[in-house]
Structure 1
Amino acid sequence: MFPLYQSLKWIYQKFKVSAWLPFVALVSYTILGAFLFKFFEMENDQRNREGYRNRTSYAMNQVVERMLEVRCDDLTLRSADKAYQIKHAKDALLWFLDHLNLTEVLTERTDDTPWTWLGSMFYAGQLYTTIGYGYPITQTVAGRVTSIFYILFGIPIFLIILKDIGRLMSRGCRKLYKRLGDSQRKIAQSPSIKTVSQYFPNKANARRHAENAFPIPIALAMLFLWILFSAGLFCLWEREWGYLTSVYFFFVSISTVGLGDIVFLNPDMMIFNFLLILIGLALLSMCFNLIQVGGVLFKKNNSMLIFICSVFEYREIKFRKAFCNTIDQKNLENLFISIKRRSPYQFKRNQILT
């Protein structure tokens, strides 16, 4: 799968694919998967559910009949108020199933098929996001083989798109943060600092990039707030979920663990809920991208203290050379050689000395 990921990434970068095209490709891939899974699974699932529904009805009728036989041996009494007795016997049986939490199992197996267009798209999204709630499940050989190939191509495509979306979101946040910073603060730069910054281009660029970088704590706070907001919406649509259950489900989903202990019960809101999860995955990817960029900047700025010291040492030397004339050209050259050894960044010694 990794060579396939590299190949798709090379094609994506080689032909400079538009930012909207990957999104369109993902939606098209999801619709294609929904069509295939619906075609392979829907008819078979409906047939299985109808058979299970008939077996359940037959079993309940048999249990009710046997309960009546045990309860009363008098045929006249049994036939006199049979409808009333059947009703109470069924109520007792339903109470027994509900008390053992078996009602949900019966409802899940006898309800309408989940392999509608929305349900099939939900299943396709589980495959390429690697979440895998375990519902619905394929039962036909064709559906399982299709799932294998769908995963094989879907995961690399989704990873490329998710990484690109995270990079675009982090870039947009950095631009927005830079504009807000420029509008709120106007700091005039000293001419002497500007002069020295010309001789330290890498260091100056790194410092400006670090100042404009979007703060990682704010990005993490955005992700945390999105989790809380989405969990609140889940509570509105899934009546049986508590808020803590919704937070737990959303976090398990965006971490792509997908334990499957909790699944959506409202099929009408299934796709919209999944879109909330996809946005959460994009925010998580943005946070990873910012952390990665921050790590690179940290490596580039790990000698910032040396750079600052170099600036002040340079200004002090220029002052002494101009007014005190206590240092000669050779000593100035030796000083910058020592500074160069301490800092991993090169600067133009000849431009400084001239």
Structure 2
Amino acid sequence: SVRTAIGSIVGPVELFSDDVRSAVVMGIETETLLDTKTDRSWRKRLTNFLGHTGLFLLLIAYTVFGGLVFKALEHPTEVATLKEHDARVKQHRAVFLERVSRSRRASEQEFLRLLEQQLNKYESAVQDAARGGLLVPITEGRQPADLARWNNLQAIFFASTVLTTIGYGNIVPVTTGGRTFCLLYALIGIPLCVSVIADLGSLVANRFTGLPSWLEKVSTTVKSLLSALVALLLLLLYISVGALLFMILEGEWSFFESFYFCFITMTTIGFGDLVPQKPEYMLLCTVYILIGLGMTSTIIEIVRNEYAKSWKRIQALAEALRKLAEAGGSATEIASLQNEFIQRITMTDSNKSPKQWENAVDTIVRNMSKPKLKEPKIVQIIIYETSV
């Protein structure tokens, strides 16, 4: 312990003076306090890390749980529907071939009528099968169960789109049990997802608090604009990296299509016209979307604040100019007051609340509307000296 350590060290120095022994003891106690503070700092960092990571892992676990439940509820019904469509398409295909082969001896007009009739029935069956998810030609010999979209990874990806409210619409629950579970799942999971996104957003926002030393003397407005610009560039970089990743993984997407998908996803627009089709990387896609939503929400908030500040400045300037116009005076005086007001309003702090802005505007207008002291007239006396 500390006392044992102190005793072992103080024992040999008893030959020295009391001041020396006190200095040794104080040095050991100071070192012990520093070690304690270091331990507390590491514990605090570890606690914060576990807090952020734990919340994120909780969302991942909840997403996986929801995906597995969705699969258990929807997969059997989907497989049964696919088998029904498969049998119907094959039946109409066989009838079509049989009727065509029988009508060889019929007249040309009768043959065309029969051909069109059977072809319409077959096309209708194919369209119904396509709407039901049977998109692969029957001749490939794949079983309907292999074409089911409600597999484990697709179901987990669908659960993530429910929690993030993106909702591509490429896959939806059709059973009563699946829809009921979706309502309860979203009711609990969306607030959890919003909390995780806000937590990730706060981590991203903390990265914009520090500025380089050469920007310390820059005005507050310039700092805010630079922060917004850096945030936008970071978002574009993140989307570009994701676009490159999706272009490689999908294989059929161009870089522009991948970038378009990432942007539509990060802004939670979710048209559903482009959706990842490879289930192998759905978990990676889910993590990418969750992190990106945290970044996007924070960056959009930063840009929104800049828009709001600019709009407040414009409103304050317009109101001040209106008051100046109502104050009367010659055009030259009003122009002079306007120039003076613009110079003053741009020097004010951009972090003022709307009420503070209004009070500042009123104060500036009152100060500038006061009658100025008349300057004494200058009389010029010109003396001409001539030789006359």
Task: Give the TM bin, normalised by the shorter chain.
Answer: 0.5 to 0.7
* Counterpart residue number, 1:41: 74
Q: After superposition, give the CA deviation of every residue in 1:136-173 in whole Å (9 maximum; x if it has no partner).
A: 21121111000011111222221222122111112024
Within a 5 Å distance, the mapping from 1:164-175 to structure 2 comes to 164-175=199-210
* Counterpart residue number, 1:232: 244
Aligned length: 254
**Residues 209 and 165 of structure 1: is their aligned pair in 2 closer, same or farther, counting only changes over 3 Å?**
farther
- Between the aligned partners of 2:159 and 2:287, the Cα distance in structure 1 is 13
**Residues 249 and 208 of structure 1: is their aligned pair in 2 closer, same or farther, counting only changes over 3 Å?**
closer
Matched, 1:31 2:64: yes
**Residues 60 and 208 of structure 1: is their aligned pair in 2 closer, same or farther, counting only changes over 3 Å?**
same
Q: Is the 8 A contact 2:266 2:289 kept in 1?
A: yes
* Counterpart residue number, 2:254: 242
* Counterpart residue number, 2:100: 67
* Counterpart residue number, 2:283: 271
Matched, 1:162 2:197: yes
- Between the aligned partners of 1:258 and 1:297, the Cα distance in structure 2 is 30
Q: Is the 8 A contact 1:166 1:285 kept in 2?
A: yes
SS in 2 for 1:107: coil
Aligned match for 1:251, one of 250, 263, 276:
263
SS in 2 for 1:253: helix
- Between the aligned partners of 1:116 and 1:153, the Cα distance in structure 2 is 23
TM-superposed deviation, 1:294: 5.5
SS in 2 for 1:115: coil
Q: After superposition, give the CA deviation of every residue in 1:160-210 in whole Å (9 maximum; x if it has no partner).
A: 2212211111202434xx3xx24xx598x9xxxxxxxxxxxxxxxx97898
- Between the aligned partners of 1:64 and 1:55, the Cα distance in structure 2 is 14
Counterpart residue type for residue 31 of structure 1? V
**TM-score with structure 1 length normalisation?**
0.58
Matched, 1:137 2:137: no
TM-superposed deviation, 1:68: 2.6
Matched, 1:21 2:33: no
**Residues 104 and 291 of structure 1: is their aligned pair in 2 closer, same or farther, counting only changes over 3 Å?**
same
- Between the aligned partners of 1:103 and 1:231, the Cα distance in structure 2 is 33
TM-superposed deviation, 1:269: 2.5
Q: After superposition, give the CA deviation of every residue in 1:40-92 in whole Å (9 maximum; x if it has no partner).
A: 1122222222222222222222222223333468xxxxxxxxxxxxxxxxxxx
Q: Is the 8 A contact 1:216 1:290 kept in 2?
A: yes
Q: After superposition, give the CA deviation of every residue in 1:100-145 in whole Å (9 maximum; x if it has no partner).
A: 9999653269452222221111111111111111122112111100
Matched, 1:119 2:131: no
Q: Is the 8 A contact 1:174 1:213 kept in 2?
A: no
**TM-score with structure 2 length normalisation?**
0.54
Q: After superposition, give the CA deviation of every residue in 1:200-254 in whole Å (9 maximum; x if it has no partner).
A: xxxxxx9789859962112111212222332232222333333333232222222
Identity %: 26
Please say which of residues 51-60 and 145-154 is displaced more in the overlay. Answer: 51-60
Matched, 1:107 2:138: no
Counterpart residue type for residue 271 of structure 1? L
Q: Is the 8 A contact 1:41 1:143 kept in 2?
A: yes
* Counterpart residue number, 1:313: none
Please say which of residues 22-31 and 265-274 is displaced more in the overlay. Answer: 265-274
Q: Is the 8 A contact 1:210 1:297 kept in 2?
A: no
* Counterpart residue number, 2:299: 287
Please say which of residues 151-160 and 123-132 is displaced more in the overlay. Answer: 151-160
Q: Is the 8 A contact 1:170 1:214 kept in 2?
A: no
Is there any run of 5+ residues in structure 1 with no aligned partner, and where?
Answer: 1-15, 74-92, 190-205, 311-337, 343-354
SS in 2 for 1:18: helix
- Between the aligned partners of 1:121 and 1:277, the Cα distance in structure 2 is 13
* Counterpart residue number, 2:89: 56
Aligned match for 1:221, one of 233, 237, 242:
233
- Between the aligned partners of 1:48 and 1:28, the Cα distance in structure 2 is 30
- Between the aligned partners of 1:307 and 1:261, the Cα distance in structure 2 is 48
- Between the aligned partners of 1:308 and 1:70, the Cα distance in structure 2 is 88
* Counterpart residue number, 1:10: none
**Residues 280 and 54 of structure 1: is their aligned pair in 2 closer, same or farther, counting only changes over 3 Å?**
same
- Between the aligned partners of 2:231 and 2:347, the Cα distance in structure 1 is 32
- Between the aligned partners of 2:246 and 2:347, the Cα distance in structure 1 is 55
- Between the aligned partners of 1:149 and 1:309, the Cα distance in structure 2 is 53
Q: Of the two structures, which has the highest relative contact order with CA contacts closer than 8 Å and spacing of 6 or more?
A: 1
CA RMSD of aligned residues (A): 4.2
Within a 5 Å distance, the mapping from 1:67-106 to structure 2 comes to 67-71=100-104, 106=134
**Residues 124 and 68 of structure 1: is their aligned pair in 2 closer, same or farther, counting only changes over 3 Å?**
same
